[in-house]
Chain A
Amino acid sequence: MDSAQYAELFLTESREHVSAINHSLLELERGVGGDEPVGAIFRGVHTIKGMSATMGYTAVASLSHELETLLDVVRRGGSTVDARLMDLLFRAADLLERAIESAVSGVDAVDVLPMIHQLQSEAGRDSQTFLSMAMTAELPVPGMGMGMTAEMPIPGAWTAAVPAGPGMLVRVRIVEGTPLKGVRAFLAVEAAKKLGEVGEVSPPVEALQADAFDHDFALRLTTELSRDDVIAALRRAGDVDEVSADDAAVSAPLVEAPAPTKATNGSSGNGGNGATNGGAVRQQRSVRIDLRRLDNLMNLIGELVITRGRLVQLTGPVDDPALAETVAQTSRPVWQVFDRFPRLVRDAARSVGKPVEFTIEGKEVELDRSMLDEVGDPIVHLLRNAIDHGIESPEVRREQGKPESGRLTLSASRDRSAVAIRVTDDGRGIDREKVLQRAREHGLIDASKTELTDEELFRIISQAGFSTADKVTDLSGRGVGIDAVHNRVRSLGGSVDIRTAPGKGTTVTLRLPLTLAIVRSLLARIGDETYAIPMTHVSETVELHPQIMHTLKGREVLMIREQVLPLIRLRQLLHYEGDATRGLEQVVVVEMAERRAALVVDALIGQQEVVVKQFDGVQNGLTLFGGATILGDGAPALIIDVSSLL
């Protein structure tokens, strides 16, 4: 097999499996889910083993093999799950991940031998089997309690468990990379039924149809036909890569193989588990569609494409690489980044000796791929902050009548055209007194101030180098705090909001636009320039009639439906001289979180999708802009960053 062609696929899939393994390890450690976590880890490791053996990644295959053997011992109750074992399993999972990355990239070769010896001694076996296996890379080796037959065709091992029952053992491998492999497998089973009586199929037919198998499956066939006839008949089933069959006489029913059978059962139809199991979420999903509907859809799309072509012709060639790039971008569910956090939180919480209950909500919410890559670090930052500073030690929590375990929640949700990512803890909250004191020391605020609003608090702690941590720990307190998060999120066109209550906890909300590059905006004229205001934050527009204007405590405010909104005259803010010339000025009501304001502009031009571009900031310039865009006439227009106005 051409490895390069499949290496990327292997990497992607393995990463998902490693992530699922970590997820299950955490469950196992918490002792929830009964036998399921071990089973899930076993399945993940098993799949990685199969894939890596096929790819010829011997180190990964050997390591996963030993890990699998140990897991088998654990599952059979041969080893108690204690902290020491968990530690070993976590380390093995980490090493497995590193070995996978290095096998694919071909750099930083990882030495798996020491870990293999540890796993072996834990599983109570000697190291002979490994050595012979590593040499030949034939997997799996028979006689290791994995329910595999001794039959080892090369390349690629048969991964399906041996079905019980009488009859000829027939194994079929579907061509790798075939779309709808489940359908192919089903057809092969149907073909087998024509040859004789089909006994047990492994994995079961339902699992096959759901694509929940590793390209190969096995079945028992009672037939008059010879071995060669069966092989030849099944080969004709289409997209069948390889078929093996043994004579019924030779293969007396083998010992039942609980492990892989269970594995395939578990990953196939068990919907109840699927919802909670991290691994199940990322299974490819397919739906059956009536062919007529599909044809109809194709026709509609065809018409759309033609219409688009006409429009392009009418409006002239679209020659904007950023636009093309954006169209090619796709959104990704946040779990692709979130899934590594449970492990991270566990490790961080252990290192400071605080039990933490971590929940993730809204895994399915999607975010622009490039943004997703960028947002991981800020979230890590917030999680670490919460564990290190937010959540109190168990003793303190007990004294305050809180549950000993701190609660930490990471959630993602969509509202309008933004995605809100929240990190919430039930810890002590940000110490306003301490922030106030530090802020006075640093001269960040008026020394006479005695109270801070959430906004002021945020403004202060988001300044570079500000930290209230009394000591620098491994986790945080190095003075690279909220400001780093704030900068990163701002550079993505988003905003940060902090709510904190003493003794009750802190919630940090990151609001991110759905895509980086295209933002639906309201274009407004101020002076002789055009400005863009992202529609995300626009709630309504009204004309500035004198009767809705009032003065409150010396400030201009607007009364709209009993609501009092502070009036911000962009003309003044942006240093334009004089007054708007013609007609009534327009008001754009903007909102973010619970804050609202009324922006006064000269005139409204209309709505438009604009492509956001960054520009180099100028020293002493206003930080009111979230980028610029290029208008239809080719002139740049500034995009107003509403979060900086509120």
Chain B
Amino acid sequence: MIRSSISIHWSTLASSETLPESRATARTLLFRVAGKVYGCDIEAVREIIPYRRATRLPGAPPFVQGLVNLRGTIVTVLDLGARLDPARPPIRDGSIILAAHGTRVVGVAVDEVMDVQGISEEHVEAHGGARDALIRGLGHLESDVVVLVDIHTLVTQVLL
């Protein structure tokens, strides 16, 4: 079981491009949402900030928390927990992962950011027939299985 208290190693994040990883290994940011561990490709991640209250965006789907101010830029924040299971209460603590999609930046609220790990391709179980296009597949770590989510799909599903 992955220790849920591991915080992210900023040095590895910063130098992710220069590490001599093999091509088939995707560096994956691991985070926890409602007790489950998820992962996303670190290439899409721009920055991680502490959770902050978002200004409600009336009329938006329930899993859109609203708008936050990121150093003068307005960023839309999505609630990954509510997105994966509408019955979940909204995330009100934890972190916001800022992911870049093209020129746009979107925030993804999660309960906790945990670690960065390389997951080689042979350890990824493609999830072709997944009900949710958001789920790319399952990543097998030494002692655990994480659900891999596709940030780009999340963004294109939500933003105009």
Which residues of chain A have a CB within 8 Å of any CB of chain B? 320-322, 527, 529, 573-576, 613-622, 624, 628, 630, 634-638
Contacting residues, chain B, for A619 (C-beta < 8 A): 61, 157-160
Binds A, one of B12-20, B49-57, B88-96: B49-57
* Closest beta carbon of chain B to A531's beta carbon, Å: 10
Asked if A638 meets B55 with Cβ closer than 8 Å, knowing A321-B72, A615-B76, the reply is yes
Contacting residues, chain A, for B24 (C-beta < 8 A): none
When chains A and B are docked, how far (Å) is the Cα of A613 from the Cα of B73? 8
A-facing residues in B104-160 (Cβ within 8 Å): 104, 106, 157-160
Asked if A618 meets B160 with Cβ closer than 8 Å, knowing A575-B59, A636-B55, the reply is yes
| Chain B interface residue bracket vs A | 20 to 34
Contact B55 A618 (CB under 8 A): no
Given contacts A320-B72, A617-B160, A618-B61, list 14 more A-B pairs with CB under 8 A. Answer: A322-B72, A575-B59, A614-B74, A615-B67, A616-B106, A616-B160, A618-B160, A619-B157, A621-B57, A621-B59, A624-B58, A628-B74, A630-B72, A634-B69
Contacting residues, chain A, for B61 (C-beta < 8 A): 618-620
Contacting residues, chain A, for B100 (C-beta < 8 A): none
The 9 nearest A-B residue pairs measured at CB: A622-B59, A617-B160, A574-B58, A615-B74, A636-B67, A618-B60, A636-B55, A621-B60, A616-B159
Closest to A623 in B: B59
Which of A320, A322, A628 is in CB contact (< 8 Å) with B67? Answer: A628
Q: Let me know if B45 is at the binding interface, CB within 8 A.
A: no
Contact B57 A618 (CB under 8 A): yes
Which of A529, A614, A615, A624 is in CB contact (< 8 Å) with B56? Answer: A529
When chains A and B are docked, how far (Å) is the Cα of A619 from the Cα of B158? 6
When chains A and B are docked, how far (Å) is the Cα of A20 from the Cα of B158? 50
Which of B55, B64, B106, B159 is in CB contact (< 8 Å) with A628? Answer: B55
Closest to A620 in B: B61
Asked if A616 meets B104 with Cβ closer than 8 Å, knowing A320-B72, A630-B72, the reply is yes
Q: Let me know if B68 is at the binding interface, CB within 8 A.
A: yes
Contact B76 A635 (CB under 8 A): no
Among B69, B106, B160, max chain A CB count under 10 A is at B69
Asked if A638 meets B72 with Cβ closer than 8 Å, knowing A618-B158, A628-B67, the reply is no
* Closest beta carbon of chain B to A572's beta carbon, Å: 10
Contact A638 B59 (CB under 8 A): no
Contacting residues, chain B, for A628 (C-beta < 8 A): 55, 67, 74
Which of A320, A620, A637 is in CB contact (< 8 Å) with B59? Answer: A620
A-B pairs with beta carbons under 8 Å apart, 20 shown: A527-B56, A574-B59, A575-B58, A613-B73, A613-B74, A615-B75, A616-B104, A616-B159, A619-B160, A621-B57, A621-B58, A621-B64, A622-B58, A622-B59, A630-B72, A630-B74, A634-B69, A636-B66, A636-B67, A636-B74
When chains A and B are docked, how far (Å) is the Cα of A613 from the Cα of B76? 13
Contacting residues, chain A, for B158 (C-beta < 8 A): 618-619
Contacting residues, chain B, for A624 (C-beta < 8 A): 58-59
Which of A529, A575, A620, A621 is in CB contact (< 8 Å) with B55? Answer: A529
Asked if A636 meets B68 with Cβ closer than 8 Å, knowing A616-B106, A617-B159, A621-B57, the reply is yes
When chains A and B are docked, how far (Å) is the Cα of A634 from the Cα of B58? 19
Contacting residues, chain A, for B76 (C-beta < 8 A): 615-616, 618
Contacting residues, chain A, for B58 (C-beta < 8 A): 573-576, 621-622, 624, 638
Contacting residues, chain B, for A621 (C-beta < 8 A): 57-60, 64, 160
When chains A and B are docked, how far (Å) is the Cα of A614 from the Cα of B58? 16
Contact B69 A638 (CB under 8 A): no
A-facing residues in B15-45 (Cβ within 8 Å): none
Contact A635 B74 (CB under 8 A): no
When chains A and B are docked, how far (Å) is the Cα of A634 from the Cα of B104? 21
Contacting residues, chain B, for A636 (C-beta < 8 A): 54-55, 66-69, 74
When chains A and B are docked, how far (Å) is the Cα of A619 from the Cα of B159? 6
Contacting residues, chain A, for B53 (C-beta < 8 A): 635
When chains A and B are docked, how far (Å) is the Cα of A574 from the Cα of B66? 13
* Closest beta carbon of chain B to A73's beta carbon, Å: 56
When chains A and B are docked, how far (Å) is the Cα of A635 from the Cα of B55? 7
Closest to B160 in A: A617
Contacting residues, chain B, for A614 (C-beta < 8 A): 74
Which of B69, B73, B104, B157 is in CB contact (< 8 Å) with A635? Answer: B69
When chains A and B are docked, how far (Å) is the Cα of A510 from the Cα of B40? 45
* Closest beta carbon of chain B to A400's beta carbon, Å: 45
When chains A and B are docked, how far (Å) is the Cα of A618 from the Cα of B68? 14
Closest to B64 in A: A618
When chains A and B are docked, how far (Å) is the Cα of A324 from the Cα of B88? 43
Closest to A630 in B: B69
When chains A and B are docked, how far (Å) is the Cα of A322 from the Cα of B74? 12
Contacting residues, chain A, for B68 (C-beta < 8 A): 636
* Closest beta carbon of chain A to B96's beta carbon, Å: 14
Contacting residues, chain A, for B67 (C-beta < 8 A): 615, 628, 636, 638
Contacting residues, chain A, for B157 (C-beta < 8 A): 619
* Closest beta carbon of chain B to A641's beta carbon, Å: 13
* Closest beta carbon of chain B to A504's beta carbon, Å: 38
When chains A and B are docked, how far (Å) is the Cα of A527 from the Cα of B53? 15
